[in-house]
Amino acid sequence: MPAKQGQGIGDALIRAGLDALREQGCAISFVLGHEAYYPRFGYSPDLAARFASPFAGPHFMAMMLDSDAPWPQGGRADYAPAFGR
Ligand SMILES: CC(C)(COP(=O)(O)OP(=O)(O)OC[C@H]1O[C@@H](n2cnc3c(N)ncnc32)[C@H](O)[C@@H]1OP(=O)(O)O)[C@@H](O)C(=O)NCCC(=O)NCCS
């Protein structure tokens, strides 16, 4: 709802989602989103660019969920099959 936007709710939801992924032991998170918004959480287009993907471009970003972990040299990123058709 527009009246609820810009109050930090989206920020809190994204941070809670990232915490949940860390608790599940996920190593890396990818996002397709606004290039001016997601870097504040740690997402980087430079990390995502190491991965071959149909989503390549400035809106395709990734972040290591352990900020001390080394960046992977490369790989491939796709949607899960249910979302990739
Ligand atoms: C995008 C959305 C989830 C953000 O949630 P929110 O609770 O309003 O965001 P927050 O209050 O945590 O953060 C506000 C920041 O987000 C930015 N922002 C909000 N919507 C944005 C958008 N569509 N694109 C880029 N930045 C956006 C604001 O400019 C603001 O930036 P600032 O902190 O530099 O001033 C929410 O505004 C929304 O649902 N928008 C309509 C649907 C939409 O655009 N969804 C995106 C689909 S990928």
CA nearest 18: which of 29, 31, 33?
Answer: 29
Which residue ranges in the chain fall short of pLDDT 50? Answer: none
pLDDT of 85 reads 66
Q: What pLDDT does 75 receive?
A: 95
- Write down the pLDDT at residue 81: 87
pLDDT of residue 11: 97
pTM value is 0.86
Walk me through the domains of the chain, giving residue ranges and CATH numbers.
2-83 (3.40.630.30)
Beta carbons within 8 Å of 31's beta carbon, 6+ residues apart: 38, 43, 60, 61, 62
2 C-beta closer than 6 A to ligand 1: no
Q: Assess whether the C-beta atom of 3 lies below 6 angstroms from ligand 1.
A: no
The ligand 1 atom at the shortest distance from the C-alpha of residue 33 is 48
Bridge partner list, 44: 62
Closest CA to 79 of 60, 66, 65, 63: 60
